[in-house]
Homo-oligomer: A and B are copies of this chain.
């Protein structure tokens, strides 16, 4: 017996996340009605996870619910926006209450912890896919864009790089591979760097989240800003798992090319360095300076010997990789 569409939505998602006074009308009408404060801009992003492309068939539903929202909140973090509301389009082949309950638990727990109220969306039968629209608020003119990097700016990244990529590599080789809890969490339960993004308003000159790999995502900043950059491979922040992987002969470019880390990469005018360092004690994640913006176009990565490493055209591209 299957539950009706409306019953499903009501049952698992009607009171999802943080109830907000600025939501005049939530789930249950033709559209939600929201109140944006006069001094705020609305930040809007929509990202979709598709089975077989972004996650394996049979993936556990609770982390999936978390990740579907997290990847969108990560985009808001990269704008310096405070998350407020979300809608969820859930396409799934069967309406199993157990699956839905676990998925909703993952989604709604992150929503609650992030101050987000789920305000709408739809549920459809079809191949498993999760499309979330996240809406956030940012003071007028203070959003972090990709286009503001200037020659001389320092380049930073939060957390560590390559962990999600290493987890994906191992699971791709063997779906039953034993992963440490930490490594699995980095792939399945990414942490959107919301506090960092908001703290960078007025400090960073540009920002992006690392979803397609550092080289590709920093590449977007360079292109949008009309600048180039030089990184030092030895300065990339690595977890013990990645350090061990590289020591065993793993691809040393993994931390540059692997996607799904959802760290923030940002640029900082050198004059803001002291202000940034003053922030560090109250950030939930480390930040590391990895290089500098220059005028010469393109991205150069210097190896331990000081020579430029040859980089493949980087980044994760669904069509290019599968085409």
Contact = CB atoms under 8 A, between A and B. Distances in A.
12 contacts: A4-B317, A30-B207, A31-B44, A31-B78, A31-B136, A33-B143, A46-B88, A46-B131, A50-B125, A53-B124, A53-B126, A125-B318
Interface string A117-145: 00111111111010101111010100101
Given A87-B133, A125-B318, A42 B46 contact: no
A322 B88 CA distance: 21
Contacts of A2: 319-320, 323
A29 B28 CA distance: 31
Nearest to A125: B318
Contacts of A122: 46-48
Contacts of A31: 43-45, 75-76, 78-79, 81, 134, 136, 143
B46 A41 contact: no
Contacts of A48: 89, 91, 122, 124, 131
Given A28-B146, A44-B87, A45-B87, 12 more contacts: A2-B323, A5-B318, A29-B146, A30-B208, A33-B79, A42-B42, A46-B89, A48-B89, A48-B122, A53-B125, A53-B126, A95-B319
Nearest to A37: B38
A8 interface: yes
A36 interface: yes
Contacts of A89: 46-48, 89, 131
